[in-house]
Amino acid sequence: MSANDVPRAGQQPTPTTTVTDAVKDSAFLRACRREPVPHTPVWFMRQAGRSLPEYLKVREGIPMLESCMRPELVTEITLQPVRRHNVDAAIYFSDIVVPLKAIGIDLDIKPGVGPVVEQPIRSRADLARLRDLTPEDVSYVTEAMGMLTRELGATPLIGFAGAPFTLASYLVEGGPSRNHEHTKALMYGDPQLWADLLDRLADITAAFLKVQIEAGASAVQLFDSWVGALSPADYRRSVMPASQKVFEAVSGYGVPRIHFGVGTGELLGLLGEAGADVVGVDWRVPLDEAARRVGPGKALQGNLDPAVLFSTQDAVEAKTDEVLAAAQGLDGHIFNLGHGVLPTTDPDALTRLVEYVHTRTAR
C-alpha cells in the first residue's frame, strides 16, 4: 500500500483480491465485462458432480457435506470437469447450505432428496439460531480456494452462494418444496419477521461471498434457484432488498456478479436491477428476448435446456445453434445450460458441446 492509498478517516479501504492478469484476460471474465472475446466462453452449472465417474469414485463413502469440508477433495472435484471438458471456468465445489451448516444449523444433504433441516425456522425465537458467519467458520474454503487458484492458472474460479430467498425456502420448509407453502405463509403473514430473516441471510451470504473473493474467486454467482415461484411485485417487495444487500456488499471488489434463478422469465429485469453484472437465463426465454427484458449494460449467461443433452448429437447442435443465434449481437454472452447438469448426463456429450461452441464462435 502506498501513502496515497491510506484510507482517510471515514473512508472504506478499497478491497483487494488476488486475481492475476491472465485470469482477468480470460474469455469468461472478458465476456462478463462485455468486452470482445476470442470465443464464447462455456461453463456448466453443476459441471462437477454425479455425471462424472471420477467424481463418484472419489466421493465413495463420504457424505456430501463432509466432502465440502475437505480442501484436497474439494480441489480435486472442482478440477475434474476442467480437465475433462475444457470449460472456460471452474466453479468451486460446495453447496448452498454449507454456510448454514458452518454457523451451526442442524442440516444434512440427503442423497436424491437435497438439503433437509432438522428444526425449521418459522418463529422470531428461531431467528436467533442464525448467527453471523466468520471466515474461521469456513477456513476450509479459504484453504481449498488457495490450492485451486494455484492449480487453475489462467482459468477463472467462480465462487457462489445461495440467495436469501432460496436459503429461506430450505430453512422454513425444512427441506425441498414444490409449492413453498410455509415460506409464503411466513412472507405474507409476518412481513416483519420475513424481512428480518432475509436480512440475516443476506449478511451471512455476503460474508460467505467475501471469504471466497478474498481467497481468489474471480467471479461470484448468487443462486436464487427457486425464486421463480414469486410474482414480480412480491419479488420486488419481499426479496429484492435482501439480494440487493448481498450484491452491494461485494461491489467494491470489482469481480463480476452473476444472478440466476429457474423459471424467472418474468423476473429477469429485476434480477439485473438487484445488482448483477451478468443475468443467468433458463431455457424458457430465448436470449434475445431475455436481453430486452434485462435491458442494456448487463451480460447474459445461458441457456441450453439440460435435457437436450439426452438427444442425438445433431439435435444438440441444432439447439445450440438456436442459442448462439439468439445471442448474436449481445455484447456479453457466457454459454451455459439453463439449469444444472442432470446427474445421468453422458459426460462425453458435455465435452462435445464445449468443443462445438468454441468452434462455432471462434473469431
Which residues are annotated as catalytic? 46, 50, 59, 95, 170
The runs of H, that is alpha helices, within the chain are 21-24, 27-32, 53-59, 64-67, 71-85, 98-102, 124-127, 139-152, 164-173, 181-189, 191-214, 232-238, 240-249, 268-273, 287-294, 313-327, 347-361
Strand-pair category, 333-337 with 114-117: unpaired
DSSP annotation of 314 reads H
**Amino acid present at 143:** E
Q: Would the annotation count 170 as a binding residue?
A: yes
What are the cell numbers at 283?
A: 431455457
Q: Return the number of the residue (40 or 264) whose C-beta is nearest ligand CP3.
A: 264
Q: Binding pattern to ligand CP3, positions 50-79, x when CB under 6 A?
A: x-------------x---------------
CB of 325 to ligand CP3, least distance (A): 26
Q: Binding pattern to ligand CP3, positions 282-321, x when CB under 6 A?
A: ----------------------------------------
CB of 110 to ligand CP3, least distance (A): 7
Q: Would the annotation count 47 as a binding residue?
A: yes
Closest by CA position to 235, among listed 264, 196, 208: 264
Q: Return the number of the residue (114 or 252) whose C-beta is nearest ligand CP3.
A: 114
Q: Return the number of the residue (99 or 115) whose C-beta is nearest ligand CP3.
A: 115
What are the cell numbers at 312?
A: 442425438
Q: Would the annotation count 48 as a binding residue?
A: yes
With binding defined as CB under 6 A, does residue 24 bind ligand CP3? no
Q: Binding pattern to ligand CP3, positions 106-125, x when CB under 6 A?
A: ---x-xxxxx----------
CB of 54 to ligand CP3, least distance (A): 13
b/e code 303-312 from CB counts within 10 Å (16+ = b): bbbbebbeee
CB of 134 to ligand CP3, least distance (A): 22
Q: Would the annotation count 272 as a binding residue?
A: no
With binding defined as CB under 6 A, does residue 225 bind ligand CP3? yes
Paired residues of 300 in beta bridges: 279, 333
CB of 356 to ligand CP3, least distance (A): 20
Angle at 90 between CA 84 and CA 96, to 5 degrees: 120
DSSP annotation of 42 reads B
Contact residues for ligand CP3, defined by CB under 6 A: 45-50, 64, 91, 93, 95-96, 109, 111-115, 160, 223, 225, 340
Binding-site annotation, residues: 46-50, 95, 170, 225, 339
